[in-house]
Amino acid sequence: MQLVMFTKMLAKLDVRRLGETVKELGFAGMDLAVRPGHPVNPENVETALPKAIEVWSGMGLVVGMVTTDTSLVDSRAAEAERVFAACGNRGVKYIKLGYYTWKPGENYWHRVGEIRRLLDGFAELGAKHGVLPCYHTHSGTFYGSNAAGLMHLFKDMDPKHIGAYIDTAHLKLNGEPFDMAIEMVRPYLRVVGIKDPRYAGRKREIVPLGDGLVDFVDVGRQLKAIKFQGPLTLHSEYHMDTDGIIKTTRQDMKRFKGWMKEAGW
């Protein structure tokens, strides 16, 4: 099990400070957001990623995966080639793609066919560079919003070339049991997102681990049962300043490691 931190909320930190923070919090490395406004972004990835990895390797950290901008949905985009090539050259194994959004009134199955062809393009690009593209289950008006929906996109595809990235919070919000989700995507399962949701009236929010709806001991037991070895990426998607995010993530890590120990890891 490789526990990494999603760096989305730490965009203000430079490369060295980001590494120092991730290391101090006890992670093996990072789920690196390669997005506009981040130290490593789609425009500079070819030069900035190797330099950043060199700094982080010196700290004993790894880049377990890269998360691209949510708009990256076509392998023919110029940034797709740059990001995949840079990751392949530096041994980053997994890349999270963008999202395909449902538009009311469109033909669901026709659009699924189109998305499958787009995913085929990413599979080819990943094979070219030795990187596995992964699609994330995100609740809401997205195709592949849970494991069942994801299999509409993945069915009969080669799991050597496309990966499933399931998420504890979004599966819970979709009402899909975690063990059932695992079983549906098991040949494709490569990444698991760790966060905790709850309802505040009619609104949904992400809260510190243990303050929401997810049973993380059960999550740990289910992952141990299938001998899961891929990245677990903790998201820390809190509406706080940087110091608050770091403080809350430190609490999250203490709780999460305790639950994983209870689960037998």
Query: What is the per-residue pLDDT across 88-134, written as a single tens digit (0 to 9) for each?
Result: 999 999 999 999 999 999 999 999 999 999 999 999 999 999 999 99
The β-bridge partners of 65 are 31
Amino acid at 230: G
Class of domain 2-262: alpha beta
The 3-state secondary structure of 124-172 reads HHHHHHCCEEEEECCCCCECCCCHHHHHHHHCCCCCCCCEEEEEHHHHH
H or E, element range at 7: none
| CA quadruple 203, 207, 210, 211: dihedral, nearest 10 | -50
Percent of the chain exceeding pLDDT 90 equals 97
pLDDT of residue 15: 98
Q: Using one digit for the tens of pLDDT, what is the confidence trace for 217-244? A: 999 999 999 999 989 999 999 999 999 9
Helices marked H in the chain — which ranges?
15-24, 45-58, 78-89, 108-129, 147-154, 168-173, 178-185, 216-225, 242-262
List C-alpha distances in Å: 164 to 134, 147, 232, 236: 5, 8, 13, 21
* Total residues found in the chain within this entry: 265
**Given the structure tokens 């949701």, which residue do they identify?**
197
> Where exactly are the structural domains of the chain?
2-262
CB 131 within 8 A of CB 93: yes
Q: Using one digit for the tens of pLDDT, what is the confidence trace for 156-211? A: 999 999 999 999 999 999 999 999 999 999 999 999 999 999 998 889 999 999 99
Q: Is 185 helix (H, G, I), strand (E, B) or coil?
A: helix
CB 172 within 8 A of CB 128: no
Average pLDDT, the chain: 97
CB 148 within 8 A of CB 176: yes
List C-alpha distances in Å: 46 to 13, 53, 123: 20, 12, 20
pLDDT of residue 200: 87
The pLDDT of residue 10 is above 90:
yes
- Phi, psi (deg, nearest 5) at residue 190: -130, -30
Percent of the chain exceeding pLDDT 70 equals 100
Which among 14, 31, 11, 131 is positioned nearest to 82, based on CA atoms?
131
